C-alpha cells in the first residue's frame, strides 16, 4: 500500500479543499472548506456556475445571503463525494461576536436542512476566540456540531473541550512557520513545534477524558502528516494527498496517549484564557493573522458577487 492508504488505517483522512474533483480522486471520509478555499474554487471555470446560481437565487437578498447560499451549494456538492461530514466556515468578521455567530450557525444549518442535508453531516467552522468558543458551546447544545479552527495553543484546545465542542483543528503548518521564522530553524520530524502542539493536545484530551475530536490541519509537508499518524483526523490539501499516494514506504502509528503523565489540568475561565493566550506570542499573532486573512478573502468573494449583480 502507498502511504495514503496506510495512513487511513490509523487516521480519518479529510480533504482540505473546495475542489470536487480532488475530493473524488482521493476518497476521503470528510472534507473541510474555508473562505480562502471557496474563493480559489470559484475562480475556476468549472465552479463558476455555482457562484452564478447563488447570485441568481437571491436577487433581492444581501451579499451575505448570497455568500451563505454559495457556501451551502459547495457543501451540498462536496457531500456527494464524501460519506462523512463537510465543514462550512462562518465569516471571520464575526469572530468576536458570540450572538451573531450563533445566529449565523443556525442559519447555515437551516439552509442545509432545506437542501435535504441533515445537521449530522455538517460541522460549523468557527475561529477559536473566547467568543467563538462560547458560540460553539450554545450551538452544540442545539445539536449543531462545530469545528473550532485557527487553533494554535493548548489553552484554546482546553476551552473548546470544556465547552463540549465536537472537533478542533490545530494548525500545524502555521505554528511551524512562526517558529521557523522566529528561530531560523527548519524543524524536522518529531522536533516540529506544530507536530508537538497537536501531540500535547491529543495527550491532554486522552488523559482527562475529553471526547472532542482532534483534527490536525494546515500542513507544509508529508513529514508533519506522518508524525501525526494516529490522530483522530487529519485534513490534508490535494497536493500533499497526491504526494502520499505517490510514495511507498511503511507508515507507523506515532500518536498515542504516552507522555501525558507530565500534563497538569488547566482551569480555564475567560480571564485565564485571555491571559494564557496573550502569554503565547505565536498563538496570539497567528490567530489574529488568520482572522485577518480569512476576512480579506471574504471581502474579495463579496466583491466578485457584487460584480455579478
Helices (H) and strands (E) in the chain, counts: 14, 8
Task: Check: CB of residue 149 under 8 Å from CB of residue 125.
Answer: yes
Q: Which residues are identified as catalytic?
A: 125
User: Coil, strand, or helix at residue 186?
Assistant: coil
| Direct distance between the N- and C-terminal alpha carbons of the chain, in angstroms, rounded to an integer | 50
In this structure, what C-alpha cell is assigned to residue 255? 500518536
Q: DSSP string of 258-279?
A: TTGGG-------HHHHHHHHHH
Shortest CA distance to 97 belongs to which of 65, 129, 56, 139? 129
- From the list 82, 78, 93, the residue with the least C-alpha distance to 126 is 93
Amino acid at each position: 500500500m502507498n502511504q495514503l492508504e496506510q495512513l487511513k488505517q490509523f487516521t480519518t483522512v479529510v480533504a482540505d479543499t473546495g475542489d470536487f474533483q480532488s475530493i473524488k480522486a482521493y476518497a476521503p471520509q470528510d472534507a473541510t472548506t474555508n473562505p480562502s478555499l471557496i474563493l480559489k474554487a470559484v475562480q475556476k471555470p468549472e465552479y463558476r456556475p455555482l457562484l452564478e446560481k447563488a447570485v441568481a437565487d437571491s436577487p433581492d437578498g444581501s451579499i451575505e445571503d448570497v455568500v451563505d447560499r454559495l457556501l451551502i451549494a459547495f457543501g451540498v456538492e462536496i457531500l456527494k463525494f464524501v460519506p462523512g461530514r463537510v465543514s462550512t466556515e462562518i465569516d471571520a468578521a464575526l469572530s468576536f461576536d458570540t450572538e451573531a455567530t450563533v445566529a449565523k450557525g443556525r442559519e447555515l444549518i437551516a439552509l442545509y436542512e432545506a437542501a435535504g442535508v441533515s445537521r449530522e453531516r455538517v460541522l460549523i467552522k468557527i475561529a477559536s476566540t473566547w467568543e467563538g468558543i462560547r458560540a460553539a458551546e450554545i450551538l452544540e447544545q442545539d445539536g449543531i456540531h462545530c469545528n473550532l479552527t485557527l487553533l494554535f495553543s493548548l489553552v484554546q484546545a482546553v476551552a473548546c473541550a470544556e465547552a463540549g465542542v465536537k472537533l478542533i483543528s490545530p494548525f500545524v503548518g502555521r505554528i511551524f512557520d512562526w517558529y521557523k521564522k522566529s528561530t531560523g530553524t527548519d524543524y524536522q520530524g518529531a522536533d516540529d513545534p506544530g507536530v508537538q502542539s497537536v501531540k500535547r493536545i491529543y495527550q491532554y484530551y486522552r488523559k482527562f477524558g475529553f471526547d472532542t475530536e482532534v483534527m490536525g490541519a494546515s500542513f507544509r509537508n508529508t513529514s508533519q502528516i506522518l508524525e501525526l499518524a494516529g490522530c483522530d483526523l487529519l485534513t490534508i490539501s490535494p497536493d500533499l494527498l497526491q504526494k502520499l499516494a505517490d510514495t511507498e514506504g511503511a507508515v507507523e502509528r506515532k500518536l498515542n496517549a504516552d507522555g501525558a503523565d507530565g500534563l497538569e489540568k488547566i482551569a480555564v475561565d475567560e480571564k485565564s484564557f485571555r491571559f494564557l493566550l496573550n502569554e503565547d506570542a505565536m498563538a496570539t499573532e497567528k490567530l489574529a493573522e488568520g482572522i485577518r486573512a480569512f476576512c480579506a478573502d471574504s471581502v474579495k468573494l463579496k466583491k466578485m458577487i457584487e460584480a455579478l449583480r
